[in-house]
A and B are shown apart, each in its own frame.
Chain A
Amino acid sequence: MAITREKVEELTAVARKVRRHIIDMTAEAGSGHPGGSLSCTDILVALYFHVMKVDPKDPDWPERDRLVLSKGHAAPALYAVLAEKGYFPVEELLTLRKIDSRLQGHPDMKKTPGVDMTTGSLGQGLSAANGMAIAAKLDGKDYRVYAVLGDGELQEGQVWEAAMAASHYKLDNLTAFVDHNGLQIDGPIAEVMSPEIIQDKFRAFGWNVIDVDGHDFEDIIRGIEEAVNTKGRPTVIVAKTVKGKGVPFMENQVDWHGKAPSRQQAEEALKALGE
């Protein structure tokens, strides 16, 4: 899985495109969640463009690796990654949140090719990922399951029910990411309701814990590699991220959680992201 210089450059280029799409999509929709989409972009790009065994021509391929975007409000990031990967035309991205679009405000597995689980209600995704990982074990299949959670999302009790179950059932084919951007809607997670120390909590629940820089492809890949090689227990990768990453006026700004940029702000954002 180790990653070459060239591959890092390729992923960096894809991530730039994905971030540009996120800005365009939310600006066009007039609503959506740019902050948390931008913070998990590099994680999703690393997974879909370097790690996961998937076939965009056959989205329901039974042997494929699965991804559950538990923080479903980051749908723009997932859609942009799927479109760049070839699941559906890039032009379709601009239909986000519009009537009759396949791209719903939150991921809908029955509408969008490549979406493995319907999410949007925080706290539910890890349970579904557990179910997929259990199914793989039952069927003796070697596909892997990835879940991406928000750090604020960790306040949901169901996450910890699922964390307990994943280690109880030794789901070493499951890797969860925590997009640790430190912010939720009402402010910093530390002020609203601290889920810290996240690493200690997962460790106490029996998980293997890895820290990575969520915007450094080499580091993300190193983390996933270690997760894949860890047997007998699930792994959580706590990815230190910046909410709004790549768009200076959005970075670390709680206001940009669930607000679309105006056309003018979008232009400024695109300029900052570069071609």
Chain B
Amino acid sequence: MPKIATREAYGEALAELGEEIKDIVVLDADLSKSTKTSVFAKKFPERFFNMGIAEQNLMGTAAGLATCGKIPFASTFAVFATGRAFEQIRNSICYPNLNVKIAASHAGITVGEDGATHQSIEDIAIMRSLPNMTIINPADAVEAKQAVRAAALHKGPVYLRLGRHPVETIFDEHYKFEPGKGVILRDGKDVALIATGIMVAEALKAAEILAKGGINAMVINIHTIKPIDKEIILQAAECGAIVTAEEHSIIGGLGSAVAEVLVEEKPVPMKRIGIRDVFGQSGKPEELLKAYGLTAEDIAEAARSLRR
């Protein structure tokens, strides 16, 4: 399977959708080559607005456009979108429930060499705390492409989390993305691996590793982190043990969202694979995933420890 970054899929999908949905406008903050909004910009220059290195104004302008019926996609790196402009997203977008799509690239630690200032490990936590916000974190380019369309069709704010680094393609052309619905990728009864984003591929590999040791793991892809698919989590809880995996802090992201459902509805032992409340550092994406315990082997080991 080819490796494609989800940001690449975003750029392509946006340029395609622009043809079909004339209300789509795209804004960027001097990162259009990296976020891939440049593809749209080239095709529809009159509907592309570079706002310069000014993320607060980027979000506020998108809000104003949305009040007039436009469907703005505002893009920059995840750190700056959710950090620098948090309060603009809160007060000018989420509170009035405006139809703004925040498509943030370079999420997670696989940003790599740029280091900790550019590695967004708390964006899901921040966005998850906002009423009216929908959060989508696609696992591969196929899912990302469909997620862009779903985001455009959804009425209300969406946070679309995209990565810089090429990821394995998991889904084929028959895959159908359904917002808000988790996807069971592999059935199993001994432990459930619930993953999001690039960690879905790792969870699938972890299931292979576990199978060799006689542990039969269920694998679930949670692409929509908010609203979370409670039903599928409760179904996963039937396995009696759950491991979550995300390229994000263990605080406030997928692990927290799953734990919240479990403790209220059906507590089962669980482990969270994620960045353990530390900042990242420079390095190659694969080296970083290893250094911060985000590999298939880490997921498998967490699953084994729950079965002991």
Chain A residue contacts of B64, Cβ below 8 A: 68, 117, 127-135
A interface list, Cβ under 8 A from B: 62, 66, 68, 108-110, 116-121, 123-136, 138-139, 157-158, 161-162, 164-165, 168-169
Chain B residue contacts of A135, Cβ below 8 A: 64-65, 67-70
Q: Are B57 and A127 in contact (CB under 8 A)?
A: yes
> Least Cβ distance of B139 to chain A in Å?
32
Q: Are A121 and B87 in contact (CB under 8 A)?
A: yes
B residues 74-102 touching A (CB-CB < 8 Å): 87-88, 91-92, 95-97
Interface CB pairs A-B, < 8 A, 12: A124-B92, A126-B60, A127-B59, A127-B60, A127-B64, A127-B92, A128-B67, A131-B62, A136-B68, A138-B25, A138-B46, A169-B49
Q: How far is the CA of A129 from the CA of B69 in the complex (A)?
A: 14
Q: Are A138 and B47 in contact (CB under 8 A)?
A: yes
Q: Are B96 and A130 in contact (CB under 8 A)?
A: no
Q: A131-B62, A157-B56 are in contact. List 5 more A-B contacts (CB 8 A).
A: A117-B64, A118-B92, A124-B91, A127-B88, A139-B68
Q: How far is the CA of A228 from the CA of B204 in the complex (A)?
A: 62
Q: How far is the CA of A235 from the CA of B65 in the complex (A)?
A: 20
Say whether, besides A121-B91, A128-B67, A134 and B57 are in contact (CB < 8 Å).
no
Q: Is B17 an interface residue when CB atoms closer than 8 A count as contact?
A: no
Residue of A nearest to B25 (CB): A138
Chain A residue contacts of B68, Cβ below 8 A: 62, 131-132, 135-136, 139
Q: Are B54 and A117 in contact (CB under 8 A)?
A: no
Chain A residue contacts of B60, Cβ below 8 A: 124-128, 130-131, 158, 162
Q: How far is the CA of A165 from the CA of B68 in the complex (A)?
A: 18
Q: Are A165 and B54 in contact (CB under 8 A)?
A: yes
Q: Are A164 and B52 in contact (CB under 8 A)?
A: yes
Residue of B nearest to A110 (CB): B96
Say whether, besides A127-B63, A128-B63, A138-B46, A109 and B96 are in contact (CB < 8 Å).
yes
Chain B interface size range: 20 to 34
Interface string of B92-120 (1 = CB under 8 A from A): 10011100000000000000000000000
> Least Cβ distance of B82 to chain A in Å?
16
Q: Are A162 and B57 in contact (CB under 8 A)?
A: yes
Residue of B nearest to A129 (CB): B64
Q: How far is the CA of A138 from the CA of B49 in the complex (A)?
A: 11
- Contact of B96 (CB < 8 Å), options: A108, A131, A138: A108
Say whether, besides A127-B64, A135-B65, A161 and B57 are in contact (CB < 8 Å).
yes
Q: How far is the CA of A124 from the CA of B65 in the complex (A)?
A: 14
Chain A residue contacts of B65, Cβ below 8 A: 131-132, 134-135
Q: Are A165 and B57 in contact (CB under 8 A)?
A: yes
Q: 4 shortest A-B CB distances, which residue pairs?
A: A131-B64, A127-B60, A135-B68, A161-B57
- Contact of B91 (CB < 8 Å), options: A118, A129, A134: A118
Chain B residue contacts of A126, Cβ below 8 A: 60
Chain A residue contacts of B234, Cβ below 8 A: none
Q: Are A161 and B96 in contact (CB under 8 A)?
A: no
Chain A residue contacts of B63, Cβ below 8 A: 117, 127-128, 131
Chain B residue contacts of A109, Cβ below 8 A: 67, 96
Say whether, besides A109-B96, A121-B91, A127 and B67 are in contact (CB < 8 Å).
no
Q: How far is the CA of A109 from the CA of B69 in the complex (A)?
A: 14
Residue of B nearest to A143 (CB): B68
B residues 2-28 touching A (CB-CB < 8 Å): 25
Say whether, besides A127-B56, A127-B92, A132-B64, A165 and B69 are in contact (CB < 8 Å).
no
Q: Is B306 an interface residue when CB atoms closer than 8 A count as contact?
A: no
Q: Is B136 an interface residue when CB atoms closer than 8 A count as contact?
A: no
Say whether, besides A124-B91, A128-B63, A161 and B56 are in contact (CB < 8 Å).
yes
Q: Is B66 an interface residue when CB atoms closer than 8 A count as contact?
A: yes
> Least Cβ distance of B155 to chain A in Å?
13
Q: Are B61 and A164 in contact (CB under 8 A)?
A: no
Residue of B nearest to A136 (CB): B68
- Contact of A110 (CB < 8 Å), options: B46, B47, B66, B97: B97
Q: Are B51 and A165 in contact (CB under 8 A)?
A: yes
Q: Are B67 and A158 in contact (CB under 8 A)?
A: no
Q: Are B88 and A158 in contact (CB under 8 A)?
A: yes
